[in-house]
């Protein structure tokens, strides 16, 4: 009985297993099979991820289209060039019509406004039809024609007073700005800016007003500078600054010193302050802003020298130094802006030193400035500042070194001492701000330069101090000074365990020997010659003995 139950239970289990197998088969057939995911190694996955990007880059290079020069030349640049030709032709046509009595003043003014409106309307429809460059050029050409017509109406034909002319010209400038922003066209802004600048030069006036001219050009610059900043038009940003300087320079060359210097100086200072503000307030560091400001600083200093007296120039430069120093403090949290403002401060201080003192008297200040700039450059690892420091330091030090020492107690002697001390500071800065493996290079190189210059300095000072003595005492004193330098170098090397100084001392000792043999012998009596050789030989033997003792 028990056996039958076991057999029945086995049959049921077998039946259940068959049912489970059938159910699995049905489920497998009903659901779509999912392939087993195989995880590739990380290196393989990374390589696979890179392939689409590389393939896309190669395909983009492969399908890169060639430059359509016909489009660039005839659709882009041809209308931009000939719009100015057309405007000048219109001006000369009006002049010819007036000379031959074909057109009176009112008709020319009306025709000028009609032509400008026609340009603007035609340009607008050309832009809507997709001819962007041609349309932008036509709209841009309308702005200078409006300005020319208004200027002629006021200055030449006296059909409008100064108030109305000012309001109209301001309106045309605003229209140019609106059109530049509306059509999002830097080319339109450039055309409008150039046309606005040329207005006063294309119109003859019997009584030009310096305040009106300079004020107009300055306001025009500020307006287009604002557009360039808001729309991020780098070409318009630079061009507007160049145009203002060029316009004022041409005006100054024609007018000369006729009571306009102060106005010109104020215009240039307003421009420079605008450039400082735009760079300071910009959210990101734009290279074109930074280098335009640096160029403007140099140009501004040139204008200050030309239009202001020394006292006023010095005060303005001092104000700029203070402004840039405050700028350095204000942007200290922005690394790039901080480094640029440091550069501006360096240049402004250099100009201030040049203005404050004579080069011969103030060259020490340039040496000190060069060292200060080098310290800043090495601290912030800025290559541009390093170039500035090398330039300032090398030029000022060279000027000092080529200036002869005629008296022992004199300014050139003091300048030499400052240069020698600055070399030691230069070595110290280099050692503090560089890696340990570079320290020996700075120590050895700087020590050699310092020793050579010390020898030259000692020679010049000795020659200046013994100029009234005869040849024999001069030679003896010079040799004694050289020996003293050699002994001093050897002592420093021994006390400070600075081998380079020891080697330099030995080098100077050999130079002294060569000097005695090759130059001094004919001028020295036999007894003194013997004494010198005995002293020199004894010093050499003592140094050799000390080296042996160290070993």
Q: How do residues 499-549 score in pLDDT, each as one tens digit?
A: 565 656 666 666 665 565 555 555 555 555 565 566 656 655 565 555 545
Of residues 255 and 59, more confidently modeled:
255
**Dist CA 288 CA 112 (whole Å):** 37
Confidence of residue 286 (pLDDT cuts 50, 70, 90): confident
Confidence of residue 268 (pLDDT cuts 50, 70, 90): very high
Mark residue 357 as left, alpha or beta (left: phi above 0; alpha: psi -120 to 50; beta: remaining). beta
Highest mean pLDDT among 77-81, 241-245, 408-412, 537-541: 241-245
**pLDDT score for 60:** 44
**Dist CA 430 CA 447 (whole Å):** 13
How far is residue 168 from each of residues 175, 196, 535, measured CA to CA in Å?
10, 13, 94
Is 70 exceeded by the pLDDT of residue 233? yes
Determine the distance from the C-alpha atom of residue 27 to the mean position of all C-alpha atoms in its chain, rounded to a whole number. Answer: 75
**pLDDT score for 323:** 95
With contact defined as beta carbons under 8 Å apart, do 449 and 397 qualify? no
CB atoms within 10 A of CB 400: 21
Of residues 19 and 70, more confidently modeled:
19
Confidence of residue 256 (pLDDT cuts 50, 70, 90): confident
Is 70 exceeded by the pLDDT of residue 153? yes
What is the token pair recorded at 142?
């309308």
Is 70 exceeded by the pLDDT of residue 74? no
**pLDDT score for 338:** 87
Percent of the chain beyond pLDDT 70?
A: 67
Is 50 exceeded by the pLDDT of residue 241? yes
**Dist CA 99 CA 223 (whole Å):** 36
**Dist CA 276 CA 254 (whole Å):** 30
Q: Which of 8-12, 159-163, 359-363, 543-547 has the lowest mean pLDDT?
A: 543-547
What is the token pair recorded at 340?
């640029």
Q: What is the pTM of this model?
A: 0.64
Q: Which residues contact 297 (CB under 8 A, 6 or more apart)?
A: 272, 320, 344, 347, 348, 351
- Residue 219 host element (H or E): helix 210-231
Q: Compute the mean pLDDT over every residue in the chain, rounded to the nearest whole number.
A: 76
SS3 317: helix
Which one, of 315, 319, 363, lies nearest residue 345 by Cα?
319
With contact defined as beta carbons under 8 Å apart, do 300 and 249 qualify? no
Percent of the chain beyond pLDDT 90?
A: 12
Q: Across residues 242-248, what is the average pLDDT?
A: 93
């Amino acid at each position: 009985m028990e056996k039958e139950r076991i057999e029945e239970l086995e049959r049921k289990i077998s039946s259940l297993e068959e049912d489970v197998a059938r159910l699995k088969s049905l489920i497998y057939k009903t659901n779509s099979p999912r392939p087993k995911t195989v995880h590739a190694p990380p290196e393989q996955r990374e390589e696979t991820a890179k392939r689409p990007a590389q393939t896309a880059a190669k395909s983009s290079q492969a399908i890169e289209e060639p430059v359509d020069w016909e489009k660039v030349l005839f659709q882009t640049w041809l209308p931009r060039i000939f719009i100015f030709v057309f405007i000048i032709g219109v001006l000369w046509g009006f002049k010819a019509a007036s000379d031959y009595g074909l057109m009176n003043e009112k008709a020319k003014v009306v025709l000028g406004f009609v032509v400008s409106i026609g340009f603007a309307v035609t340009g607008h429809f050309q832009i809507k039809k997709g001819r962007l460059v041609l349309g932008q050029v036509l709209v841009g050409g309308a702005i200078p024609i409006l300005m020319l017509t208004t200027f002629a109406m006021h200055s030449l034909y006296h059909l409008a007073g100064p108030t109305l002319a000012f309001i109209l010209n301001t309106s045309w400038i605003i229209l140019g700005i609106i059109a530049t922003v509306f059509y999002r066209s830097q080319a339109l802004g450039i055309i409008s800016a150039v046309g606005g600048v040329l207005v006063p030069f294309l119109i003859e006036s019997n009584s030009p007003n310096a305040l009106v001219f300079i004020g107009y050009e300055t306001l025009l610059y500020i307006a287009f500078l604002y557009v360039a900043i808001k729309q991020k038009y780098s070409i318009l940003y630079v061009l507007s600054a160049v145009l203002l300087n060029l316009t004022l320079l041409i005006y100054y060359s024609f007018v000369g010193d006729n009571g306009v210097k102060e106005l010109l100086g104020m215009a240039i200072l307003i421009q420079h302050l605008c450039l400082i503000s735009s760079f300071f307030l910009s959210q990101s560091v734009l290279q074109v802003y930074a280098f335009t400001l640096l160029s403007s600083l140099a140009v501004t200093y040139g204008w200050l020298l030309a239009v202001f007296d020394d006292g006023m120039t010095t005060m303005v430069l001092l104000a700029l130094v203070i402004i840039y120093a405050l700028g350095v403090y204000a942007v200290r949290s922005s690394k790039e802006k901080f480094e640029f403002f440091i550069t501006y401060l360096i240049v402004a201080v250099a100009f201030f030193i040049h203005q404050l003192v004579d080069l011969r008297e103030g060259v020490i200040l340039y040496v000190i400035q060069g060292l200060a700039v080098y310290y800043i450059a090495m601290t912030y690892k800025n290559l541009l500042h390093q170039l500035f420091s090398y330039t300032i330091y090398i030029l000022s030090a060279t000027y000092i070194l080529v200036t002869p020492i005629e008296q022992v107690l004199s300014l050139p002697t003091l300048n030499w001492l400052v240069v020698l001390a600055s070399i030691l500071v230069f070595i110290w800065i280099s050692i503090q701000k560089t890696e340990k493996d570079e320290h020996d290079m700075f120590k050895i190189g700087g020590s050699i330069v310092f020793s050579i210059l010390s020898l030259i300095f000692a020679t010049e000072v000795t020659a200046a101090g013994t100029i009234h003595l005869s040849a024999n005492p001069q030679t003896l004193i010079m040799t004694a000074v050289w020996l003293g330098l050699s002994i001093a170098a050897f002592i420093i090397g021994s006390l400070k365990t600075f081998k380079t100084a020891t080697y330099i001392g030995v080098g100077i000792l050999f130079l002294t020997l060569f000097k005695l043999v090759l130059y001094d012998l004919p001028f020295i009596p036999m007894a003194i010659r013997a004494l010198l050789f005995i002293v020199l030989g004894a010093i050499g033997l003592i140094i050799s003995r000390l080296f042996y003792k160290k070993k």
